[in-house]
Amino acid sequence: MTEMRLQRALARAGVASRRAAEQLIEDGRVRVDGKVATLGMKVDPDRQRITVGGRAVKARALRWLAFHKPLGVVTTASDEAGRRTVLDFIPDNAGLTYVGRLDVMTTGLLLLTTDGEAVHRLTHPRYRIPRRYTALAHGRSTAEIAQAVGQKVVIDGRPVVPEE
């Protein structure tokens, strides 16, 4: 592994989010090779000993899961309304996050991973990753659906139109 910021290494190991890791470092609870760590320092987790509160931090292997999201399940880590979430279906879900989202009334493939960097690259608009969705509608005529799909939709102030 190459050098990275300490808070990133802690987040990758599942110790805490990057923000929470920054707080642990600022509180003086993190040591690298026996010395108190400082915010922004670079580490190589494969070559250096990192501890938090005296306990060794071990790097975790990155995990990727393909999950078929059922109808009525929320794509979120926790839900204030008490609805089931995608993470409720995964017994060992520590550090997992989802790549994109599916609406509560939508079923389909959802990727879950511990690789936050990959999630960012796949979902941030700056990287212009093309997406394709297939929708099946029940109860309406084909003409009604075609007309609705062909209309301009505005999301976050930007027009979104069908590609084909």
- The domains of the chain are located at 4-56, 64-133
Choice among 44, 79, 103, 115 that is catalytic: 103
Could you tell me the mean pLDDT of each successive run of 10 residues in the chain, 164 residues long? 88 86 96 96 94 91 94 94 96 90 93 89 91 77 74 80 65
Tell the burial category of 50 from Cβ atoms under 10 Å away from its Cβ (0-12, 13-18, 19+): buried
Q: Give yes or no: 103 in active site.
A: yes
pLDDT for position 21: 93
CB 50 within 8 A of CB 43: yes
Model-wide pTM > 0.85: no
pLDDT for position 1: 58
**Sole residue written with tokens 């017994």:** 91
pLDDT for position 2: 82
pLDDT for position 24: 97
- CATH fold label, 64-133: Alpha-Beta Plaits (3.30.70)
20: left (phi over 0), alpha (psi -120 to 50) or beta: alpha
pLDDT for position 87: 96
- CATH fold label, 4-56: 3.10.290
Tokens of 96: 């997992």
